């Protein structure tokens, strides 16, 4: 069972002799309750960016280049999946959209030897005076996620 409220959207690439086109996020996908901000970031190979969560906003994550392992942990008090961890492999090898509901902790690790680029949308714009950014250490003992890459 997946964490309640988390959704994915498989992206469809339309290819021709010139390259490809894909719709990433549309208002009729019914993923965001409203639109706040879109942001873009790159992380280098091996980097772990984890964990954080939001009390008031949902996130949509998309990795158009590179590959990552996304780890989610449900912190919601009244959720049937409270305390559950989910893993999603995302990036150019698996182009999906991931909806991360508020109060679900999230982070990612760049896999392979190539930097990963993330484009993400939020239901609220960032407020530097009162940021909706709650941090949890990447090695938090409650989440207890093993970030080690398994070989073989």
At 75 the pLDDT is 98
At residue 150 the predicted structure's pLDDT band, cuts being 50, 70 and 90, is: confident
| Residue 22: per-residue pLDDT | 81
Both tokens of 26, joined, read: 């549309």
Q: Residue 104 in contact with residue 74, Cβ under 8 Å?
A: yes
User: What pLDDT, on a 0 to 100 scale, did the predictor assign at position 58?
Assistant: 96
Q: How confident is the model at residue 136 (pLDDT cuts 50, 70, 90)?
A: very high
Contacts of 124 (CB under 8 A, 6+ apart): 36, 37, 56, 57, 132
What stretch of H or E contains 15? strand 14-16
Q: Give yes or no for a contact between 98 and 6, defined as CB atoms under 8 angstroms apart.
A: yes
Please give the pLDDT value at position 117: 95
* C-alpha to C-alpha distances, 77 to 13, 131, 136, nearest whole angstrom: 38, 21, 17
pLDDT at 17: 87
Q: Which is nearest to 62 in space by CA: 10, 126, 133? A: 10
| Three-state DSSP class for residue 46 | coil
**What's the pLDDT score for residue 35?**
87
- State pLDDT tens for residues 82-130: 999 999 999 999 999 999 999 999 999 999 999 999 999 999 989 999 9
Q: What is the pLDDT of residues 26-83, one digit of tens each?
A: 888 888 888 889 999 999 999 999 999 999 999 999 999 999 999 999 999 999 999 9
**Which residues have a Cβ under 8 Å from the Cβ of 20 and sit 6 or more positions away?**
13, 14
DSSP one-letter string for 109-128: EEESSS-EEEEEEESS---S
């Amino acid at each position: 069972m997946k964490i309640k409220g988390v959704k994915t959207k498989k992206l469809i690439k339309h290819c021709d002799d010139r390259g490809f086109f894909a719709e990433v996020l549309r208002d009729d996908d019914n993923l965001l309750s409203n639109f706040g901000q879109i942001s873009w970031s790159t992380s280098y190979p091996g980097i772990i960016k984890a964990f954080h969560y939001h009390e008031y906003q949902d996130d949509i994550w998309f990795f158009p280049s590179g590959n990552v392992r996304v780890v989610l942990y449900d912190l919601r008090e009244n959720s049937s999946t409270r305390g559950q961890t989910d893993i999603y492999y995302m990036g150019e090898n698996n182009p999906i959209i991931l909806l991360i509901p508020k109060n679900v902790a999230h982070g990612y690790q760049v896999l392979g030897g190539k930097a990963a680029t993330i484009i993400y949308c939020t239901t609220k714009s960032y407020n530097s005076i009162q940021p909706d950014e709650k941090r949890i250490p990447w090695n938090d003992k409650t989440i207890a996620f093993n970030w080690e890459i398994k070989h073989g």
